[in-house]
Amino acid sequence: MRDLLRATLARASCTLLFARSGQEALAMARKERPAVILLDVVMPDMLGWEVLREVKADPATRPARVLMLTGLARKAVFRVAFDLGADGFLAKPFTPTEAYQRVQDLLRLAAKTASAAELTPEQENAFSGLFDKQ
C-alpha cells in the first residue's frame, strides 16, 4: 500500500513522508507539522485511533487534516474516526484516483483554514465591525 500511495501522491506536488509505526508518525507530525496525515487504523505498535487522539490533542498537530485508511469498512469504525476528529475515511481497497482526490480535497481545505487563520488585526477589526453595525 505504501508504494501505491507514494506513486499516486507523487503528482500531488507535496512532500511525502512515511512512518513505519504510530510512535514514528507522532514524532514526525510534531516535527514536520503536515497539512494532511494519512493514517492506517491498524499499525504495528498502536492503533490509528490512538495516534489520531494524540494528533488532535496536541496544539502543534491539531490543525492537520487526517484521512483514515482501513479495511474495516463498517459504520461503527467510521463513527469512531469522525468522533475522534478524522476529516475523512478511505476504505481499502481503494483506487489511486480515490486516494489522490481525497488528499487533494484535504489539502484545499487545509489551505483555506490556514489562510483564514492568518487574518491581520486590521482584517479582524474590519470583519467584527460589520457585525457591530446593526
DSSP 56-81: HHSTTTTTSEEEEEES---HHHHHHH
* Gyration radius of the chain over CA positions: 17
Residue 53: give its domain's CATH number.
Answer: 3.40.50.2300
CA dihedral of residues 17, 91, 12, 24 (deg, nearest 10): -10
- Number of C-beta neighbours around residue 86 at 10 A: 22
pTM over 0.85: no
Average pLDDT over residues 41-67: 94
- For the stretch 101-111, pLDDT in tens is 999 999 999 98
How does DSSP classify residue 121? H
Where in the sequence is the domain holding 115, given as residue range(s)? 2-132
Structural domains in the chain (count): 1
* Between residues 14 and 85, the one the model is more confident about: 85
